[in-house]
Amino acid sequence: MKKSKKTNGKNYKKIWGLADKRFNTDYFHINKFGELIIREGNYQYNVLNLARKFGSSVEIFMPFIIEERLSHIYKVAQNNIKKMKYKGRFTYHFPLKVNQNKEAMLPLLSEGAHLEVASANQLWIVKKMWMNGNFHSKIKVVCNGAKTADYVKLIVELRNMGLGIIPIIESMEELRTFKGFSGDLGIRVNLKTKVKSHWDKKIDQFGLELDEILELGRIRNLKMLHYHLGSQIMLENDMVQGLREGFEAYKKIRKNCPSLDTLNIGGGHAIPHEKKKLYSVESVLYRIFYNLKKWSEKETIPHPNVVVEWGQYVTGPAQMTVYRIVMSKEIPKGIAKKWYLIDGSFINDLLDTWAIHQKWHVVPVNNIDAPKRHRVWLAGLSCDSDDKYSGDGYLLLPRLEDLEKGEDQYITVFNTGAYQDSFMAHHCFLSSPAKIVLQNGIVSVARKRESPDDVGKFFGW
Ligand SMILES: Cc1ncc(COP(=O)(O)O)c(C=O)c1O
């Protein structure tokens, strides 16, 4: 692209929200050619070169980001425990539903993650990893979700093989199923606290009401009380309010069940998809430990062990998805001027765009310093009029008419490392993006782009 003004790196960083810890973009910078750079310590990767080499659409997965985020959570928790003389333990359980890919789970385990599964098939992954010797038997696995016959069978099998597996009771029927279970049990309580998040359902199908649990009296081997308020909880106060109600339930249930010693507060730590500053791990963990200590001392009960299952927070920022703009079209009547068609699909690759109207942080991969930009709407390659993304009304992206002859414009969507891969679909028989992994300065291919033959297998061809 011909540049009419001298590049001012700092200014463009600000415009695009790069190199900013508040937005989880501290790893992302601009080089002197206006191209997006990823930094891993002193290693660096040029996203444009990666897209040219491996083709697009392509997911770029960065396990070092996962490792740093999880080790930071553990560090902050341990500091609080030490400073406050908190007597309970802190454990992080990774919910597999958030990112079921091997390249995500292995670095999580290496940083000390325990696991949370929600189905028999997810437990099959755990079994496979365990049989491969990927982790030791001290790993604890929390089993949520409805316990089908296959699920129960696998739980019992793994327990008998010595794995620390904790079925979470979600219904009266499950309580009967696990009556003779020899290991620790958990129970899920459905709290009344409602939080500001996409998942603030008035009624949901999970867990038991507190009154129902209290009526059960003593539950043998009950170790963990679990709740989950929702994903992307926007306010720290909502988290603390849920904690308050969760602790009240914990305290009451403990009177019947003295073996209860762990409070699992589920997932929900939000990430700044919308480039707005949110609460930090430091502040929320401080309030969790401070309050649990204060409340339990008031009740003269031991400080509970604390479990968190913050999935999106840890894995979301560890992936970006890169697309090439394959075509542009005028928009005759709209607040945006142009359609930019990407070589992928929002419906297929980034389902939350459509399902929960997710706002994404989108940045050009090249020409980040373009002085002139168009107001655009992005569209995917499927034939669906819902396959589009318009941000907060429109996006401002470099003008294609300013590109050099033969130059392509690429864009990237940040924070795609949570949920989107599990939701991937093949509307219009389109292929899913390829996936590459960056670690220790080395780029490897985790998944090739699907050929029509590969996609055909899903549909009996
Ligand atoms: C029980 C449970 N734990 C943890 C999570 C992860 O939530 P998040 O990714 O928002 O942290 C979920 C998500 O649905 C969940 O249902």
Q: Is 228 in the pocket of ligand 1 (CB under 6 A)?
A: yes
User: In the predicted model, is pLDDT for residue 453 greater than 70?
Assistant: yes
Q: Is 312 in the pocket of ligand 1 (CB under 6 A)?
A: yes
- Among 94, 97, 416, name the best residue to mutate to test ligand 1's pocket (greatest count of ligand atoms within 8 A of Cβ): 97
Q: Which protein residue's CA is at the shortest distance from atom 14 of ligand 1?
A: 231
Q: What does the pLDDT look like over 322-371, one tens digit per residue? A: 999 999 999 998 899 999 999 999 999 999 999 889 999 999 999 999 99
User: Which domains, from first to last, does the chain contain?
Assistant: 55-62+319-458 (2.40.37.10), 86-309 (3.20.20.10)
User: In the predicted model, is pLDDT for residue 25 greater than 60?
Assistant: yes
Closest ligand 1 atom to 231 CA: 10
User: In the predicted model, is pLDDT for residue 248 greater than 70?
Assistant: yes
The mean per-residue pLDDT over the stretch 115-124 comes to 97
The mean per-residue pLDDT over the stretch 409-423 comes to 97
User: In the predicted model, is pLDDT for residue 198 greater than 80?
Assistant: no
Q: Is 311 in the pocket of ligand 1 (CB under 6 A)?
A: yes
Poorest-pLDDT segment among 201-205, 296-300, 374-378: 201-205
pLDDT at 197: 77
pTM for this entry? 0.95
The mean per-residue pLDDT over the stretch 135-145 comes to 92
What is the average pLDDT score of the chain?
94
User: In the predicted model, is pLDDT for residue 6 greater than 70?
Assistant: no
Q: What's the gap in Å between 138 CA and the centre of ligand 1?
A: 23
Closest ligand 1 atom to 418 CA: 9
User: In the predicted model, is pLDDT for residue 134 greater than 90?
Assistant: no
pLDDT band at 204 (very low <50, low <70, confident <90, very high): confident
Poorest-pLDDT segment among 52-56, 81-85, 179-183, 338-342: 179-183
More confident residue, 135 or 257: 257
Q: What's the gap in Å between 99 CA and the centre of ligand 1?
A: 11
pLDDT at 3: 58
The mean per-residue pLDDT over the stretch 261-273 comes to 95
Q: Is 98 in the pocket of ligand 1 (CB under 6 A)?
A: yes
pLDDT at 94: 98
pLDDT at 95: 98
Q: Which protein residue's CA is at the shortest distance from atom 7 of ligand 1?
A: 267
Q: What's the gap in Å between 377 CA and the centre of ligand 1?
A: 31
pLDDT at 277: 84
pLDDT band at 135 (very low <50, low <70, confident <90, very high): confident
User: In the predicted model, is pLDDT for residue 202 greater than 70?
Assistant: no
Q: How many CB atoms lie within 10 A of CB 420?
A: 23
The mean per-residue pLDDT over the stretch 254-283 comes to 94
